[in-house]
Amino acid sequence: MQDRFSAGRILREALGGNAGWRPWRRNPEPKPRYDVIIVGGGGHGLATAYYLAKLHGIANVAVIEKGWIGGGNAGRNTTIVRSNYLWDESAAIYEHGLKLWEGLSADLNINVMFSQRGVLNLAHTLHDVREGMRRVNANQLNGVDAEWLDAPGVKAFCPLIDISADARWPVLGATLQRRGGTARHDAVVWGYARAADRLGVDIIENAEVTAILRDGQGRFDGVETTRGTIKARTGALVAAGHSSILAAMAGFRLPIESHPLQALVSEPLKRLLDCVVMSNQVHVYVSQSDKGELVMGAGIDAYTSYTQRGALHVIEDQMAAACALFPMFSRVRVMRTWAGIVDVCPDASPIIGATPVPGLYINCGWGTGGFKATPSSGWTLAHTIATGAPHPLNAPFALKRFETGALIDEHGAAAVAH
């Protein structure tokens, strides 16, 4: 039995010295067989399991995680959530996600601290203006909230931004998505895990998948893990930066490069920045956490790697850029830097759907920007697994597109990593 979270419950438990709180989820031993195995206990894998159980009645599911849940990118990202993507296909899936975000705390019964503080994308050149306007117009026609601000409008919305014309990269305007913002990544991971567990999903930690089993017909048949063999007729690889390794175990290749992506936080400061600011030209994306830290991401490290460590010069580039946009940050200090391994697709769009192995699905390629898609990624993959066919939302994101050439190039929208 799980606790139901609420303010009243907090007060009740406080009176009892907090002795009455129960575990958020079970810590089950793996069963020999499940209906569905999901490899990867990041946000996307856990969300997939949750929606499988909740919306499709498939609860005999194992999420298999090599370490602790949320230890990958789910717990390392800069948590920017928005849906103002250019192309129809992307707008649809990210906007579906944003709508899920808007009800997520209530749905999962945990405060995921989804903070709709607004996301600004600054335009510094005529090219930026053109592309920003184009995106705002596309968003509006797709029913996604988007606004174009001129420079004084930017200043009014975010007084910290210098809009003087003699700046190295003067601010000419910005796109604004007010419904965008940030969320608390750990709460998202733990919330999905707790809610999935409540519906009967087994979350198996410290179990690394070391081999993918296939039957005589070549169909998916289970996995070999460091905690033993676990069988299932249906599986999904949701392993972000390690997707290519798992695909290789299953005998196919992915058009993915894995790179370190670094992020950092400053020491906590008194509240000073109330929105998310992104700039492609200066290469900055920054928000201030509820605790007061400035949260910032860097560009990807150029070399491919599976170590969760990046190089110093990338951080130095990032800090030079941050000070160029916000000179008053110069004396603020970096408290922590870290890296995740991001799965970068050639068109900066994800892959969600079938693989060449019958019974095995994949969800990867979110690269530098998949946190925002956690709900819709899990939702669409669950639909695909449950029905054996993609939902219209994820049909365009099939692996096959790299054969047909029907790419969904979102480099424009993803020019800075986020």
Partner 1 sequence: MTGSRLPAGGLIDRTKPISFTFEGRALTGYAGDSVASALLANDVRIVGRSFKRHRPRGLLSLGMEEPNAILNVGTGAHAAPNRFATELPLAQGLAVSPTRGWPSSRFDLGGVLDLWPTPLAAGFYYKTFIGPRLPGVRDAWNRLWEPLLRSLAGQGRAPEGVDPDAYDHAHIEVDVAVVGAGLAGLAAAEAALGRGARVALFERDIRPGGRALGRDGDPRIDDAAPLAWAEGAWARIADNPRATAKLRTTAFGLYDGRQLAVYELPVDGPYAGRIWHVRAKEIVIAAGALERPMTFPGNDRPGVMLASAVEAAIRRYGVRPGGQAVVFLNHGDGAGLRQALNAADIEIVAEVGPDETVTGTQGFGRLQSVDIAPLGPDGLPRMDARRRVPADLLATSGGWSPALALHLIQGGRQAWSEADGCFIAAGGGQDGVRLAGAANARFSAAAALADGHGSTAGGAPGPKTTGGDAAPSGQGLPLAPIAAERLKRQAFIDFQHDVTVADIGLAAREGFHAIEHAKRYTTAGMGTDQGRTAQLATAAALAAATGREIGDIGLSGLRPPVTPVPFGALGGWRRGALFAPVRQTPMHRRHEALGAVFEDVGDWKRARYYAAPGEAMAPAVARECRAVRTAVGALDVSTLGKIAVAGPDAAAFLNRVYTNRMDTLAVGACRYGVMLKDDGMVFDDGVVARLGPNRFHVTTTSGGAAAVLNWLEDWRQTEWPDLKVWLASVTEQWAGVAVAGPNAARTLAALAPELDLSDTAFPHLTWRDATAAGLSARIFRVSFSGERGYEINVPWRHGEALWDAVLAAGAIPYGTEAMHVLRAEKGFIVVGHETDGTVTPVDLGLSWLISAKKGDFIGKRALARPALTAPGRKQLVGLEPEDASVVLDEGAQIIATATPRPPEPMLGHVASSYWSSALNRGFALALVKDGRARHGERLFAWSLGVAHAVRVRDPVFYDPKGARLHA
Residues in touch with ligand FAD (CB under 6 A): 39-45, 64-67, 71-74, 76-80, 208-209, 238-242, 246, 261-263, 297, 340, 342, 366, 368-372, 418
Nearer to partner 1, 35 or 145 (CB): 145
Give the torsion sign (CA, 132, 257, 183, 160): negative
Mark 187-200 as b/e (b = at least 16 C-beta within 10 Å): bbbbbbbbbbbbbe
Choose the contact partner of 263 out of partner 1, ligand FAD, none; CB within 5 to 8 A by kind.
ligand FAD
Choose the contact partner of 327 out of ligand FAD, partner 1, none; CB within 5 to 8 A by kind.
partner 1
257 CB-contact burial (10 Å; exposed 0-12 / middle 13-18 / buried 19+): middle
Give the torsion sign (CA, 231, 232, 233, 235): negative
Nearer to partner 1, 11 or 216 (CB): 11
- For Cα atoms 350, 73, 226, give the angle at the middle one, nearest 5 degrees: 100
Q: How far is the CB of 189 from ligand FAD (least distance, A)?
A: 7
Choose the contact partner of 320 out of partner 1, ligand FAD, none; CB within 5 to 8 A by kind.
partner 1
Q: How far is the CB of 52 from ligand FAD (least distance, A)?
A: 15
Tell me which residue of 79, 112, 122, 69 sits closest to 368, measured CA to CA: 79
Residue 103 half-sphere exposure toward CB, CA atoms < 13 A: 7
Residue with the closest Cβ to ligand FAD?
A: 42
Positions of E strands within 82-207: 119-123, 147-150, 173-177, 181-182, 202-204
* Number of neighbouring beta carbons within 10 Å of residue 159: 12
Nearer to ligand FAD, 70 or 151 (CB): 70
Q: How far is the CB of 182 from ligand FAD (least distance, A)?
A: 8
Choose the contact partner of 240 out of ligand FAD, partner 1, none; CB within 5 to 8 A by kind.
ligand FAD
Amino acid letter, residue 414: A
Nearer to partner 1, 225 or 234 (CB): 225
Q: How far is the CB of 231 from ligand FAD (least distance, A)?
A: 16
Nearer to ligand FAD, 80 or 382 (CB): 80
Tokens of 190: 């733990």
Nearer to partner 1, 48 or 139 (CB): 139
Q: How far is the CB of 287 from ligand FAD (least distance, A)?
A: 9
Choose the contact partner of 115 out of ligand FAD, partner 1, none; CB within 5 to 8 A by kind.
partner 1
**CA-CA distance, 169 to 158, in Å (whole number)?**
17
Phi, psi torsion values for 23, nearest 5 degrees: -60, 145
